Amino acid sequence: MSCMGRTVFIGLDGVPHGLLKRLADDGTMPHCRRLFEIGNLHCIASTIPDISSVAWSSIITGKNPAEHGIFGFVDIPINTYRISFPNYLSLKSKPFWEKSEGRSVILNVPSTFPVREMNGVHISGFVSLDLERSVYPPGLLSQVKALDYKVDVDAEKAHVSMDMFLSDLDKTLTARGKVCDHLWQHEKWDTFMIVFTGTDRLMHFLWDAYEDEEHWYYKAFRGHFSKVDAIVGSIIDRLNDNDILVMCSDHGMEHLDKNVYVNAILKEHGFLHYDPALKGGFANIDGRTKAFSLDPARIYLNKRGKFPRGCVAPNDEEKIIEDICELFQRYAVGGKAVCKAIYRKKEIFHGPFIDLAPDIVLIGNEGINLHSGLTAENTSEETIFSGKHTQHDAFLYVRGRDKCPSVKEGFNVSNIIGYIDSLKAERWR
Ligand SMILES: [Zn+2]
């Protein structure tokens, strides 16, 4: 162990600052409460868009999406209308563990599949297609399997039975805790990072159980957070005083009232011409299409020279962007505006891959979940989910009140790694 201390980095996927504080205060998460008494808990912003693949890519690289090249769970390669699924191979900046000299244990960071050679241990998070390519070094695979490890809960189960889903969520967390314990004890490391991702799944399905004491799953909701807290507690009990401890979430979460489908709105207003009922995504887009959307609410102009049937000439881009922004500024469902904020590419993205960035990104209003809705016929509908992501209300926690640089206005998840580096530099002085 180095005398300057190790770094422990705990991620709680999707956990809002407000919820974490409340569950610490009401006794659901006593270990977190203990931590908050001896450190600083900050409310920070997510990336834009506020989804895990983008946010965790920014967290581990410290970069803007136009620098690391991940803009969503799906993408459309230039010159096609084919939907692609970016993964770790698509990440164009190095994660912090490939830049540091020390040995790292990296457990369950989303969008880091398939794993590759690194100095330490890496078990990728969702989306991981198979466990064989999720574990580095490969020699560790049999031990990970022996502990019944599973990368992600089977969310499909929630559509069949919530009890089945909760049981699977619990098993997945138990195994994650065991693998965490195993790696902590048997590996040498300078940096240890673990992300808990079941929290996000649970909040998507059961946000209403968090808010309603009469809800059938009220106790189950809190039970999952208590179990996460117990694993956090087992980690902090083993920390030394000079170890750096940082915790964060990648985005916030709030209640969800309605799904609203961006492509259906673009279609309704003549910007998009395609038949969502036909298979193959945008394969049948016709040459009159001015814009289309990819999840969550990224809008791309159908530019001439960029896409096969692109019709938007450079001189027309600005006017079309203005028209689309205006449409979504006034667009309402049930008397409620669907957007909280609308961003143009240059306001939010900077870096060498800006040409791959969406031209506009919409942020949904409170309770409104904006989806591209590739196959949606209607502009909005009710959903079985009760929680949705927010761009605001993510959190950052740092143990130790002294010598911690302040978190400035506008701090977002891509600033976390730089912040940890400044903490380390402070220790060196
Ligand atoms: Zn989520």
Q: Residue 20: pLDDT above 80?
A: yes
- pLDDT 10s digits, 363-397: 999 999 999 988 888 888 888 899 999 999 999 99
Ligand 1 ion: nearby residues, β-carbon < 5 Å: 200
- Average pLDDT score over the chain: 94
Q: Does 423 share its domain with 411?
A: yes
Q: Which residue shows structure tokens 């309402």?
A: 332
Could you give the CA distance from residue 105 to residue 77 in angstroms, rounded to a whole number?
33
Residue 412 β-bridge partners: 45
Q: Residue 418 Cα, ligand 1 centroid: separation in angstroms? A: 25
- At 406-425, the pLDDT tens digits run 888 899 999 999 999 998 88
Residues 154 and 24 in one domain: yes
Q: What percent of the chain has pLDDT over 90?
A: 85
Confirm whether 2 is domain-assigned.
no
> Taking a C-beta distance cutoff of 8 angstroms, is the pair 92, 353 a contact?
yes
Q: How far apart are CA 172 and CA 324, in angstroms?
A: 43
The answer, yes or no, to whether residue 111 has pLDDT greater than 70, is yes
- Rounded (10°) CA dihedral 143, 144, 148, 149: 170
Residues 41 and 165 in one domain: yes
Distance 234 CA to ligand 1 centre (A): 26
| DSSP summary character for residue 407 | P
Tell which residue, 379, 380, 382, has the closest CA to residue 264: 379
Bridge partner residues of 343 (DSSP): 361
Check whether residue 49 and residue 192 sit in a common domain. yes
Distance 58 CA to ligand 1 centre (A): 16
**Residues facing 196 on adjacent strands:** 12
- E strand or H helix that includes residue 370: strand 368-371
pTM for the model: 0.96
How far apart CA 29 and CA 32 sit, in angstroms, is 5
Contact (Cβ atoms closer than 8 angstroms) between residue 400 and residue 38: yes
Measured in Å, residue 55 CA sits from the centre of ligand 1 at 11
* 211's tokens: 């808010």
Tell how many helices (H) and how many strands (E) occur in the chain: 14, 19
User: Is 37 domain-assigned?
Assistant: yes
CATH number, domain with residue 271: 3.30.1360
Q: How far is the CA of 415 from the centre of ligand 1 (A)?
A: 21
How many angstroms is it from 51 CA to the middle of ligand 1? 7
Measured in Å, residue 342 CA sits from the centre of ligand 1 at 21
Residue 55 inside a domain? The answer is yes
Q: So what's the pLDDT on residue 403?
A: 66
Quick check: 309 pLDDT over 90?
yes
Confidence tier at 4 by pLDDT (50, 70, 90): low
- Distance between Cα 139 and ligand 1 center (Å): 32
Do 167 and 287 share a domain, yes or no?
A: no
**Domain that includes residue 139, residue range:** 7-254+388-428
Asked if the model's pLDDT at residue 405 lies above 90, the reply is no
Residues 315 and 191 in one domain: no
Q: Are residues 357 and 397 in the same domain?
A: no
Q: Are residues 196 and 173 in the same domain?
A: yes
Exposed/middle/buried for residue 125 (C-beta within 10 Å: 0-12, 13-18, 19+): buried
